[in-house]
Amino acid sequence: MDPFLAREQEQYGRPSPSREFILQYLEERGMPLTLEALCTEWGMEESWEVEALSRRLRAMERDGQLIRNRREGYGPVSKMNLVTGRVIGHAEGHGFLIPDEGGDSLFLSPRQMRKLLHGDRAVVRVIGVDYRGRREGAVVEVLERNTETVVGRFCEERGACFVIPDNKRINQDIIVPPDGRGNAQAGQIVIVELIEQPSGRTRPLGRIKEVLGEHMAPGMEVRIAIASHGIPVEWPETALVEARDFGEAVPEVAKQGRWDLRATPLVTIDGVTARDFDDAVYCERRGANWRLLVAIADVSWYVRPGTALDQEARKRGNSVYFPDRAIPMLPETLSNGLCSLNPEVDRLCMVCEMTFNAEGRIVRSRFAEAVMRSHARLTYDTVATIVVDRDPRVRAEFAEVVPHLDRLHELYQVLRTGREQRGAMDFDTQETVIEYGADRKIERILPTERNDAHRLIEECMISANVAAARFLQRHKMLGLYRIHEGPTTDRLNKLRAFFRGDGVGAGWRR
């Protein structure tokens, strides 16, 4: 509740009308009502009551529940042929409004998009149907602006300065007044800060915040991506100090009470260019069953709730990887140090222990906090050479872990067979690697070959995720689930037509 409302309610003992009550009342009245009219009808005379209701109405307007007309009357958006949603821009100048309540999007003409930028939230009025049968909207009010800075190329023509956005969904040039260009030169890539949003009659106005460099400068693609997506690259000193204070070795107190797996030959298996190692595996036979351990780096000891590290990790959400660099979620002393499962050093981890039967089904699983020591840093190609090609030289080099890699490959083959029998879809996509020349320009893009090592790690991770989901269900714990929408009727009809062409019956229903 608004602190003002809570304070006044406590003092006077009379609550302000709820959002639900206000919406229901306005719907029943069937016409927009001003603040003064509502206060009169509800007998509100005290100044605090009027202020409380005014605040609530403004909040409901801001959230897209109410719309205020030119006569200051408030009405429910849902009852005024209005739709609230998020704007998606298109490179050709038009756009779409994705309704907050779901359903089909509304087409916004290029003329309507002059008032908006990609990502804005707005209220639009349905004004008809276009020639393609799509509902078409007209902007009534912009609720929330999404764009504060834009990355693009600085241009100067006949004394006029403007920035052409790099993001093709933003199709309006940003006008830059003479006193806002700073040191920017024509053709350079810049970050422009908006000081005025578009209005329909005027284009957005901005000032140059930073010059990134020349358009074709080496590495400019990455700098543009970082700036366009607002990826944080700088660390506050408080977070760096917290990270440095942990030192370079896991403190003994952090290991207490954890399952000691340091003697178990867990190994990391990643690509050649991997910069940090956050998962490790181990497999052995136990009679007719397999025992699989999947460990992931445990950062909970270092990132405590409310700390500077926690706040920065929340801001980032995840690490971001580019072909020539990585922007980690945690400072490098942690991401590449204490929180990376580097070989031959103690590391904290969370481990999932699973037992598989001869058919590849999980018959038992458990989770535990542990301390481990990676026994080898392996690449996918090296593992494939060991378990598929069975190269004697490479097998001798990694003799300590070869038996466990062989068991891991055996388990993978069983799991793979089970997937095929279940008819599970296999998205074996083609990945690529970017090679740079001496001047950091992209020289070529090469496809990477996937082998059994890639697939067996994927099977290990899928199995650990299945075990985690079962753990949540078994203990009736809340969890996030992604539910894919079913296919549209149009796509189902196309699939049926395809099957009929091959003489396959399609008697199934949606």
- pLDDT tens per residue across span 470-479: 999 999 998 8
**CATH number belonging to domain 81-144:** 2.40.50.140
Helices 380-387 and 402-422: crossing angle in degrees, nearest 10, is 90
What DSSP designation does 334 have?
Answer: I
Q: What is the pLDDT along the chain (510 residues), one digit of tens a residue?
A: 444 444 444 544 556 788 888 988 888 877 788 898 899 888 888 888 888 899 999 888 888 788 787 778 888 876 667 888 999 999 999 999 999 888 889 999 999 999 999 999 998 988 887 777 788 998 988 989 999 999 999 999 988 999 999 999 999 999 999 999 999 999 999 999 999 999 888 999 999 999 998 887 877 888 888 888 888 888 999 999 999 999 999 999 999 999 999 999 999 999 887 777 999 999 999 999 999 999 999 999 999 999 999 999 999 888 888 877 888 999 999 999 999 999 999 999 999 999 999 999 999 999 999 999 999 999 999 999 999 999 999 999 999 999 999 999 999 999 988 877 777 666 666 677 777 777 777 778 888 778 899 999 999 999 999 999 999 999 999 888 777 777 877 788 888 888 887 776 655 554
Amino acid, single-letter form, for residue 471: F
Residues in contact with 397: Cβ distance below 8 Å, sequence separation at least 6, in sequence order? none
For the CA atoms of 153, 158, 161, 167, the dihedral, rounded to the nearest 10 degrees, stands at -30
Question: CA 138 to CA 81: how far, in whole Å?
Answer: 11
Q: Which residue has 């970017």 as its token pair?
A: 434
Q: How many residues does the structure list for the chain?
A: 510
Residues 246, 330 contacting (CB under 8 angstroms): no
Residues 387, 398 contacting (CB under 8 angstroms): no
**CATH number belonging to domain 3-77:** 1.10.10
- Segments making up each domain of the chain, as ranges: 3-77, 81-144, 149-228, 256-447
Question: CA 86 to CA 351: how far, in whole Å?
Answer: 41
Q: Taking Cα atoms as reference points, which of 173, 192, 172 lies closest to residue 182?
A: 192
Instruction: Name the token pair of 456.
Output: 């067996």
For the CA atoms of 189, 192, 197, 203, the dihedral, rounded to the nearest 10 degrees, stands at -40
β-pairing verdict for 259-261 and 289-297: unpaired
Instruction: Name the token pair of 327.
Output: 């922007």
Question: CA 310 to CA 318: how far, in whole Å?
Answer: 12
pLDDT digits (tens, 9 = 90+) for 167-201: 999 999 999 999 999 999 999 999 999 999 998 88
Question: Please, is 263 exposed, middle or buried when counting C-beta atoms within 10 Å of its C-beta (0-12, 13-18, 19+)?
Answer: exposed
CATH T-level fold of 149-228? OB fold (Dihydrolipoamide Acetyltransferase, E2P) (2.40.50)
Residues 189, 212 contacting (CB under 8 angstroms): yes
Question: CA 161 to CA 297: how far, in whole Å?
Answer: 50
Decide whether 3-77 matches 149-228 in CATH topology. Answer: no
pLDDT value of position 263: 96
Helix (H), strand (E) at residue 233: none
Question: Please, is 43 exposed, middle or buried when counting C-beta atoms within 10 Å of its C-beta (0-12, 13-18, 19+)?
Answer: exposed
pLDDT value of position 5: 42
Question: CA 151 to CA 165: how far, in whole Å?
Answer: 6
